[in-house]
Structure 1
Amino acid sequence: MALTQRYRRLAPLALVGAVGIALAGCGAPGAPSGGGGDGGGGGDNTVTIYGTIVDAEAELLQQSWADWAEAEGITIKYEGSQDFETQLGTRAQGGNPPDIAIFPQPGLFADFASRDFLKPAPEEVEKNANEYWTKDWVNYGTVDGTFYGAPLMANVKGWIWYSPAKFAEWGVEIPKTLDELTTLTETIASTTGAPAWCAGFESGTATGWPGTDWIEDYVLRDSGAEVYDQWVTNEVKFTDPEIKGAFDKVGAILLNPAYVNAGFGDVRSINSTAFGDVAPALASGSCALTHQASFLAGFFPEGTNVAEDGDVWAFMLPGKTESDSAVTGGGEIVGGFSDDEATQKVLAYLSSPEWANSRVSLGGVTSANNGLDPESAKDPILQETIKILQDPDTTFRFDASDLMPGAVGAGTFWKGMVAWVNGTATDEVLTQIESGWPAG
């Protein structure tokens, strides 16, 4: 979304296709040649991989497969690009795709598969997917009944960060339902005489996205997966009572000056507070609760002990009942443009527990691969994330705004959250967000 390519929002899918068609045959400046398959590559055992992962994360990615590739006699050439969506469309239309692409969004993956750019996944990849991934994840790699690619890495959103020492001091416990979360909020506010929550929506041109995560979590937990799925495709509109209900419940916290914005100001200060700035406030004790993904751990001051008995810890936003286990998150899907032997071997390896353990052990990421040992992750929150992802009872759904058309998910939805916090009435905000959906 903002920190690394893992959290960066994507261009609208329509734009990807349009740019690809417009530039096809022109050749993208600086675009690398294809690999060992249909892209016309650099040798029978050379495989090119293209993705959004850049900088230090890209170095770790390449390190994760280095030993395996050497043993197999395969040369893997990876390129990460901040212009992934546009360039991949250009290259696919021009007949010069990479052998493999790492798609950070199921919708983009499905777009390329439906236009026959991607090859159906090799048999071993499909076997790995069915054995090591849940049905929800396999479905994200399936387009029109054909399985095209396995997941790679994954993340879980919806963590509620808190101070274990403060909870002990106040005599409160981790809530097991949404109603108990409301009671916890009231108890902390009355005990301390200060708002319980801090929140930050500021993220440059992407300001507002943390608010969409709040809404998505509540829609999934309060209305269920079926309504969530229909909302993503606009069968259930933003103006529907189910979605308004989620806004009302989130607003009971975020729009209540008695509950926010601890350490920063009034409700409107949410929009001017950088999303990462809430971490030091939580660590210092000026804020009791905040809602953010696992990557918030990277924003705590040096020396902060993130542990169940440490300075800060986190619990997953609960559901309507104690047995509810639905979460939102994100991840990547791997697709092949080539079906040559070397490419198939690489695709199979990337779908395996062996690769997942190799990459996760290097730090900073998780995977929903059931063959992954949670102990491979050094970060305790990432270990908990892996357990959630591997739980067969977990209902996982991709971040809704990432699945919606860019004009909505990265447009009117973001802007609507900002307007909502600034005081615009909920009904007006919902109508404004809904207006971003393309006609027809």
Structure 2
Amino acid sequence: MKRLTAPLVHCALALGLLLAALGCGAPERERVTIMVPWSGTEFKAFYSVIEAFEKANPGIDVAPQVTRALTQQLDAAVAAEAPPDLAVLPSVGAIAKYRGGALRPLGVDTSSFVDPFRGLAMDDGKVYAVPVKADVKSLVWYDRRLTPKPAGTWSALQKRPETWCLGLESPGATSGWPGADWIADILLAQEGVDAYENWVSGDGVTWNSPPVREAWERWWSLVEGSESATEREFDEAAVELVRNRCSLGHGALSAMAFPADLMKDERYTYVLPSPRQALEVSADFVGKFTRDNPGADRLIAYLAGAKAQQTWVNEPGYALSANRQVTTYDNRTQARIAGMLRSGHTLCFSAADAMDPDVSAAFYRAVMEYVNGEDLTGLLKALDQVQQHLGDSPRPTPLCGTPNQA
């Protein structure tokens, strides 16, 4: 046995050396890091697109960095000069903050995207971010089997007896954002695009001006009695609508908790309380933060393309695409909402998303304090002071746009 074992050992060693030599000659896979804020269903939908990309590009390995505190972690990575190759930018305000600095220009054709999603460029005409999924936020949801169709204006909705689903708590530093979106939506519907743009830019419409104050007060008249909302997460409130513990909800389809089987028969549907035909929208964008990584360039071009976005919208999560070439949705309600992105509606990015991040953070805190009983006048004056202190901060261009109906 000893005489047989030695030759076997020699053979094993020789085989190992041969495999090692072959391994040294194998091409190295190119690594692309991308920082994302998604989890659960959203991450699964995103990762299905990444898997398709890796299959089509076998030499590239995509490494997602998942964080619920994306803004803070991205800020820290950029400050340490160790950013990811790509990162999701959850607002147009974040794009305005980074472009001209850490954000790199892209060689991506955005002509297939509808306005205002494709207009995120600097004065030099270069593109700095591409929208990978979009949302329409100006929707009032209800269960059509249990709740009569709501009225189509905010003033009429004030007179309805139904209860609203409301949760304001959110991971990270964004608690209050559902209220901020709602207040902005009311202002846009009541005052129109010009007043909305002037408020966001700080140009003539202050926080303590009558139109803005009235939007806050109208919002509170709808949800008054929901003080516990500051301790309830938004997704919990969405579940309460499904469980019939409240009757009306506000926000994007992707933020609701509607089961797919109940969406097929269009049991849950919506109205648009926007007589001015102006809608509040948002998007998640991807930007590039490193130089000289061809794999990152290929991935961001892929994510911007119709093939990837078509895959994404038909995964769970009810994402929408602002790419005009994406027209097929498995869910009929989702398809109708997506059609608004190619209609005659004027689309305006969420106010808080478009503001300087410090102003947005103050807006969110003010929402929480208002619900907890703080005086509205004092809160609005404090917000005016925050905006004035920041001075000429970067502004998203454009804030609103009306897509071609083609």
TM-score by length of 2: 0.75
Corresponding residue number in structure 2 for 1:102: 88
Deviation at 1:286, TM superposition (A): 4.3
SS in 1 for 2:263: coil
For the pair shown, which has the larger CA radius of gyration, 1 or 2?
Answer: 2
Residues 1:287 and 2:246 aligned together: yes
Moved more, 324-333 or 53-62: 53-62
Equivalent pairs: percent with the same residue?
22
Select which of 328, 350, 360 maps to 2:303: 350
Select which of 153, 157, 179 maps to 2:133: 153
Q: Which amino acid aligns with 1:357?
A: Q
1:251-266 residue pairs with structure 2 within 5 A?
A: 251-255=220-224, 266=225
Gap change, CA 1:67 and 1:213, over 3 Å in 2 = closer
8 Å CA contact 1:197–1:288 kept in 2: the answer is yes
Distance 1:87 1:275 in 2: 23
Residues 1:49 and 2:33 aligned together: yes
| Residue segments in structure 2 that go unaligned for 5+ positions in a row | 1-26, 392-406
Corresponding residue number in structure 1 for 2:97: 111
Distance 1:166 1:99 in 2: 49
Residues 1:305 and 2:274 aligned together: no
Distance 1:294 1:331 in 2: 15
1:12-31 residue pairs with structure 2 within 5 A?
A: none
1:196-235 residue pairs with structure 2 within 5 A?
A: 196-203=163-170, 206-235=174-203
Which deviations, in whole Å up to 9, do the C-alpha atoms of 1:330-385 show, x marking residues without a partner? 3223336335554433332221101101222332133221211342x55x543333
Distance 2:212 2:59 in 1: 50
Corresponding residue number in structure 2 for 1:175: 151
Corresponding residue number in structure 2 for 1:409: 360
| Residue segments in structure 1 that go unaligned for 5+ positions in a row | 1-42, 190-194, 256-265
8 Å CA contact 1:141–1:147 kept in 2: the answer is yes
Select which of 216, 219, 223 maps to 1:247: 216
8 Å CA contact 1:107–1:403 kept in 2: the answer is yes
Distance 1:101 1:202 in 2: 24
Select which of 285, 290, 299 maps to 1:332: 285
Which deviations, in whole Å up to 9, do the C-alpha atoms of 1:371-407 show, x marking residues without a partner? 11342x55x5433332223x24232233222333343
Gap change, CA 1:320 and 1:351, over 3 Å in 2 = same
Which deviations, in whole Å up to 9, do the C-alpha atoms of 1:225-275 show, x marking residues without a partner? 3332332232232112221131233233233xxxxxxxxxx3434434443
Deviation at 1:137, TM superposition (A): 0.7
1:358-373 residue pairs with structure 2 within 5 A?
A: 358-364=311-317, 365-373=319-327
Count of residues in correspondence between the two structures: 359
If asked which structure has higher relative contact order (CA below 8 Å, sep 6+), I would say 2
8 Å CA contact 1:279–1:296 kept in 2: the answer is yes
